[in-house]
């Protein structure tokens, strides 16, 4: 299936690209970020959260870091480096079935971020690249965060399976000036899937998930982010390769790569496959969700 790419505008931004793949459509905004700010399936509304009023920001002055919404690239573990502003245009390259948005080098971190979207087997493949352009090493993990509208139920597999199926979940009880209730009813651990039911509360959970996928199950669409899990490596946050953050305005579906020492000039990449379908799936039906990934 060929991916159609065309220049467009989106909201307040004049520089954006529409990517169509079957009934799924993605909009990548390159005037900032980069960010993926829209994902729709057929007649569905935008599955991604957009901070239309630019209300969520951090830092003083005329150039604060802004979340914008949608999908962004960070480095884990979370430090002040994550909030380096990315408010300037990217360099864009459009190829056959592929779009690349290359951000300028961050003057704060001397890291350069790259977002490449291509088509594979009828799905969007989203590749994050981070290159170290400093003269010293940089240690961290590529962190792919996708803000979705807090509608529906989030589900992900936890545990290793097999005869010794040990299930481990990390609860963020407190981090910086944030708090969450580990006893909240929004956390729904099940025998196969750990589910998150949006209640408007802030909170965060994470796990090391060998299956490497997290799903948003709505009554009008299903969206799954998946990646290849790597055994025998160190993941951030006490071994989390998958995390979910909840808030009143949005939910973040997050996958993380292994912690890597990034040498001068070196780039590390982190690839996700996005499956977006109008098929409605019960958030407790692990078999049906896994079938969408085949």
Task: Assess whether pLDDT exceeds 90 at residue 111.
Answer: yes
Task: Return the pLDDT at 222.
Answer: 98
For the chain, what are the domain ranges?
10-291
Quick one: tokens of 231? 């055994």
Q: Tell me the mean pLDDT in the region 138-145.
A: 98
Residues 6+ apart with CB under 8 A from 227: 144, 212, 213, 255, 270, 271, 272, 273
% of residues, the chain, pLDDT over 70: 99
Residue 58: pLDDT band (50, 70, 90) is very high
For 145-160, the pLDDT digits (tens) are 999 999 999 999 998 7
Q: Tell me the mean pLDDT in the region 67-78.
A: 98
Paired sense of beta strands 178-179 and 123-132, if any: unpaired
For 20-33, the pLDDT digits (tens) are 999 999 999 999 99
Task: Assess whether pLDDT exceeds 90 at residue 165.
Answer: no
Paired sense of beta strands 203-207 and 193-196, if any: unpaired
Measure the CA–CA gap between 247 and 114, rounded to whole angstroms.
Answer: 27
With beta carbons less than 8 A apart as the criterion, state whether 110 and 94 touch.
no
CATH number of 10-291: 2.70.98.10
| Lookup result for tokens 């408010």 | 87
More confident residue, 266 or 61: 266
More confident residue, 220 or 180: 220
Residues 236, 238, 242, 247, Cα dihedral to 10°: -100
With beta carbons less than 8 A apart as the criterion, state whether 50 and 39 touch.
no
Task: Return the pLDDT at 86.
Answer: 97
E strand or H helix that includes residue 126: strand 123-132
Residues 6+ apart with CB under 8 A from 62: none
Paired sense of beta strands 138-148 and 71-76, if any: antiparallel
Measure the CA–CA gap between 31 and 87, rounded to whole angstroms.
Answer: 8
Measure the CA–CA gap between 153 and 283, rounded to whole angstroms.
Answer: 6
Identify the DSSP state of 200: S
Task: Assess whether pLDDT exceeds 90 at residue 174.
Answer: no
Task: Return the pLDDT at 159.
Answer: 86
Residues 6+ apart with CB under 8 A from 121: none
**Nearest residue to 171 via CA among 245, 103, 234, 227:** 245
């Amino acid at each position: 299936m060929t991916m159609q790419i065309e220049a467009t505008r989106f909201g307040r931004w004049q520089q954006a690209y529409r990517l169509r793949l079957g009934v799924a459509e993605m909009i990548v905004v390159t005037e900032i970020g980069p960010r993926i700010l829209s994902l729709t399936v057929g007649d569905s509304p935008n599955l991604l959260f957009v901070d239309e009023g630019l209300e969520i920001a951090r830092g003083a002055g005329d150039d604060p870091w802004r979340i914008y919404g949608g999908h962004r690239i960070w480095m884990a573990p979370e430090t002040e480096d994550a909030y380096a502003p990315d408010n300037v245009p990217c360099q864009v390259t459009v190829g056959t079935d592929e779009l690349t948005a290359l951000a300028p080098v961050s003057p704060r971190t001397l890291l350069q971020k790259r977002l490449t979207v291509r088509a594979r087997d009828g799905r969007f493949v989203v590749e994050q690249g981070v290159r170290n352009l400093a003269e010293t090493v940089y240690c961290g993990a590529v962190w792919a965060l996708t803000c979705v509208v807090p509608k529906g139920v989030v589900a992900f597999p936890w545990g290793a399976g097999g005869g010794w199926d040990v299930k481990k979940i990390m609860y963020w009880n407190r981090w910086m000036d944030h708090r969450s209730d580990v006893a909240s009813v929004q956390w729904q651990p099940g025998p196969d899937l750990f589910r998150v039911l949006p209640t408007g509360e802030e909170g965060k959970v994470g796990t090391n998930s060998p299956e490497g996928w997290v799903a948003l199950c709505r009554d009008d669409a299903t969206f799954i982010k998946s990646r290849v899990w790597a055994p025998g490596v160190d993941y951030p946050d006490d071994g989390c390769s998958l995390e979910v953050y909840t808030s009143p305005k949005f939910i973040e579906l997050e996958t993380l790569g292994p912690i890597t020492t990034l040498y001068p000039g070196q780039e590390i990449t982190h690839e996700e496959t996005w499956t977006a379908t109008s098929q409605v799936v019960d958030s407790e039906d692990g078999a049906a969700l896994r079938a969408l990934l085949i």
